[in-house]
Structure 1
Amino acid sequence: MVRYLIRPSVIPAWTAVLIALLLALYPSAGLEASVRGLSIWWQVLFPALFPFFVISELLLGFGIVHFFGKLLDPLMRPLFRLPGIGGFVFTMGYASGYPVGARLTAQLWEQRLISRAEGERLVAFTTTSDPIFLIGAVSVGFFHNAALAPLLAAAHYGGGLIVGLIMRFHDRKAPASYQTTSGSKAEKRKSRIAEAIRAMHQARLLDGRTIGALLQDAIQAALKLMIVVGGLVVVFSVIMELLTKAGAIHILSEAISGMLGAAGLPPVLSYAVVNGLFEVTLGAKAAGAAGGAGLIHQAAIAAFILSWGGLSVHAQIASLLSRTDIRYGSFLIARLLHGCIALVLVYLLWSRLGPLV
């Protein structure tokens, strides 16, 4: 019987039971955390993400994504082994932050524009923080040092590109979704532009919806997604608070403190790492507040947290990918890799981009 109780398949069930018990023990703390998470969703995430979700739906309906797909294929294919439409996802993902890249990747898969392997490569390096959060919230708000923004941006976004280059070797035997045109350079350029316009026109005809219907569908789809995102933010806010009340966060912090000390990093940053494992905002804020750790180490941990994304973001990504055959495991590995690369880049780039403090 014990053997059945500890099977991996029943671990989520026991986790849910534990959270329910903690919620019964600390109802006030759970309520306060729930209200706090709802406030973050309504005041920060909803106004920041909702317009991008609506616009992305409209661009797909108008065929703009197909246009850029044909146009950017010669660039994306050799660098990342992705079709040109990956360039659109890359741009939108880096501009608007997580989880927009995963949302667009799932949409492209649903329209059979990318394969599973290409979807796994694409979501692995287009899940990043948006520049407004990195500069305004982290650099200025948490660290009170705007000069830190170029370093964090170079480490975070540069690390993402490196992950993309590494992921081109992922599932190497998988076939490409479609092939590029052949011929001379001039012919390729002309045919590429003509094909891009033709692809946009055909996509619009295949969609067939009027502008009014397309706008209505885009708003409805964006609202459904925002509700899912908000629910996950509230749930993880409550879980974090309950684990803190139960002392689990302190125990985990002590364990990570020893690991940081062994790696030559200040143990005082363990609290930031623990918070960042669950939620990126709390982790980055704790890294900025870790006085006495040294700014370079604080920035390195913040870069790791931004690139890892936090389990709250991971849950959003997993939810978006649940209706596709894109595997979460490769995404998880890519997040860990991105975090480690970003951390190392902070130390490598500190002499050139680090603030003069």
Structure 2
Amino acid sequence: MKSQQKSRWSTTLLGLMVVLFTLALVVYPKEGFEAGLGGMKLFWHTVFPSLLPFFILAEFMLGLGVVRGFGVILEPLMRPLFSVPGIGAFALSMGLAAGYPMDAVITARFRQQNLCSRVEGERLLAFTNTADPLFMIGAVAVGMFKSPEIGALLAVAHYISAFLVGVSFKLWGRRVEQADHDENPVAPVPAGTPHGTSAKRGNLFLRAFHEMIAAREEDGRPFGKIMRDAVVESMQTLIMICGFIVFFSVLIDVLRVSGLIQVIGWPIAVVYHVFGIHSGLVPPTLAGILEIDVGTAQAAAVQAAPMLQKLALVSAIIAWSGLSVHAQVASVLTETDIRMRPYFLARFLHAAFAAVVTVVLYALGMGHVAATMASSLPAFAAAQTMTGQLPWWHVMEASLDLWLLLFALLAVLSVALWVVRKIRVVAWRV
């Protein structure tokens, strides 16, 4: 009875909100059209060319078994740190290179192919939902703040906080896993290794090769069909993302011109007043809750607010990623059993960690140090030279460089851990 009443109230509330939004579009048709056009331009000039190649490449790697092969190599790194299979490194690296919502697309594909359990998918989605460095350094720092050092600071804080979220979610769902183990006394084959090859002893790279071949044979599709499926599924996902971007762009602008955003934001204004945060950051906070680009741009434009407060807010908005990205992730996960509740919890935790880490790094004067360290990476160096928006082929080149660098680093760390483990076993036998 309580669940039925709750469902009725939520349906009534959502219906009322939809009616009010429709009436607002009738009252402000010009503003709604211009906001929708701006969202479409953002998608066409930035999102579409930057995400489409990564979506297609991800489908290729899954179909050809490359992901399962890398998963065997990276299992010794990802399993102890985050309690996820080694293929999680692929979602992490692709999310880092392409940004939102690439990690959700990869994680959903893992779950559909039974390469991870539901709990492991939720853990993986918790810390791989990251922004790409070109957005933080190029668009936010150079484009909005006119300072590459700020971009390096935001990027370092963003990835440190994502790592903290991953470690924090290591114990997520342990009771569910224990209950499944109690129901099935026979130890299941680790997720991501359907044939159990990664669980056997032997040469690490040889096992990875065998797993890749086994995955390719299991898929069985010819190369032409893999290419067709990759393009079709990628285009469908991108069209869905385009719809969400346009919708939330219109929603934010209608709330702004109608004055409703001031009414909705009064609780945040009270909290900001209590903690001594500048009142001019209330509208950017509300905009950032809905959409990441609008929120960061508005926060950077508040001239009277202290720089530290603006940086902490921008860092939290980037980590939160906005309800627009959340809606995209939810739509991608509809064909899986991965729940959105842990994802929301992880985003809130990521935002809190990012704000705190940004304040600490700023207080320690780490902005210039982070910029010096980051300038040695190809993607960071390309973003620092931005005076406007980079052409899409430059974005792709820098993102691919960073993706390959991260994947190589993860592989080296995983092999190092495997070697240390072998040495310990040999020493114990001796």
State the TM bucket, normalised to the shorter chain.
Answer: over 0.9
Listed one character per residue, the Cα deviations across residues 127-184 of structure 1 (whole Å, up to 9, x for unaligned) are: 1111111110001001111111221011111111100000111111343974399xxx
Residue type of the alignment partner of 1:179: P
In the TM superposition, structure 1's runs of 4+ consecutive aligned residues that sit over 4 Å from their partners are 3-6
Q: What residue is the counterpart of 2:53 in the other structure?
A: 51
Question: What TM-score does the superposition give when structure 1 sets the normalisation length?
Answer: 0.93
Question: What TM-score does the superposition give when structure 2 sets the normalisation length?
Answer: 0.77
Match of 1:220 among 232, 240, 245: 232
Structure 1 residue 252 displacement after superposition:
2.8
Q: Matches of 1:146 and 1:189 in 2, distance apart?
A: 47
Listed one character per residue, the Cα deviations across residues 27-70 of structure 1 (whole Å, up to 9, x for unaligned) are: 22211111111111101110111111111111101111101111
Q: Matches of 1:72 and 1:61 in 2, distance apart?
A: 19
Match of 1:327 among 317, 320, 339: 339
Q: Matches of 1:57 and 1:318 in 2, distance apart?
A: 20
Structure 1 residue 188 displacement after superposition:
7.2
Residue type of the alignment partner of 1:280: I
Structure 1 residue 306 displacement after superposition:
0.2
Structure 1 residue 355 displacement after superposition:
5.2
Please say if residues 83 and 178 of structure 1, whose CA atoms lie closer than 8 Å, have aligned partners that are also in contact: no
Where 1:112 maps in the other structure, the secondary structure is coil
Listed one character per residue, the Cα deviations across residues 109-140 of structure 1 (whole Å, up to 9, x for unaligned) are: 00011111111111111111111111100010
1:277 correspondence with 2:289: yes
Match of 1:290 among 302, 305, 321: 302
Q: What residue is the counterpart of 1:179 in the other structure?
A: 190
Q: What residue is the counterpart of 1:85 in the other structure?
A: 87
Match of 1:62 among 52, 64, 74: 64
Q: What residue is the counterpart of 2:156 in the other structure?
A: 154
Listed one character per residue, the Cα deviations across residues 285-328 of structure 1 (whole Å, up to 9, x for unaligned) are: 11111112121111111100000001100100111111111111
Q: Matches of 1:9 and 1:202 in 2, distance apart?
A: 48
Q: Matches of 1:179 and 1:219 in 2, distance apart?
A: 31
Q: Matches of 2:334 and 2:341 in 1, distance apart?
A: 12
Q: Matches of 2:210 and 2:6 in 1, distance apart?
A: 57
Where 1:148 maps in the other structure, the secondary structure is helix
Distance change >3 Å, CA 194–CA 219, structure 1 → 2 = same
Structure 1 residue 215 displacement after superposition:
1.2
Range that drifts further, 10-19 or 281-290: 10-19
> How do residues 73-222 of structure 1 correspond to structure 2 at under 5 angstroms?
73-175=75-177, 178-179=189-190, 190-222=202-234
1:9 correspondence with 2:15: no
Distance change >3 Å, CA 144–CA 77, structure 1 → 2 = same
Q: Matches of 1:326 and 1:81 in 2, distance apart?
A: 16
Structure 1 residue 11 displacement after superposition:
2.6
Where 2:174 maps in the other structure, the secondary structure is coil
Q: What residue is the counterpart of 1:246 in the other structure?
A: 258
Q: Matches of 2:353 and 2:234 in 1, distance apart?
A: 33
5+ residue gaps, structure 1: 182-186
Match of 1:353 among 347, 353, 366: 366
Range that drifts further, 38-47 or 253-262: 253-262
Where 2:85 maps in the other structure, the secondary structure is coil
Structure 1 residue 242 displacement after superposition:
1.4
Identity of aligned residues (%): 38
Distance change >3 Å, CA 5–CA 100, structure 1 → 2 = closer
Listed one character per residue, the Cα deviations across residues 235-268 of structure 1 (whole Å, up to 9, x for unaligned) are: 1111111111221112234432221222232222
Please say if residues 150 and 353 of structure 1, whose CA atoms lie closer than 8 Å, have aligned partners that are also in contact: no
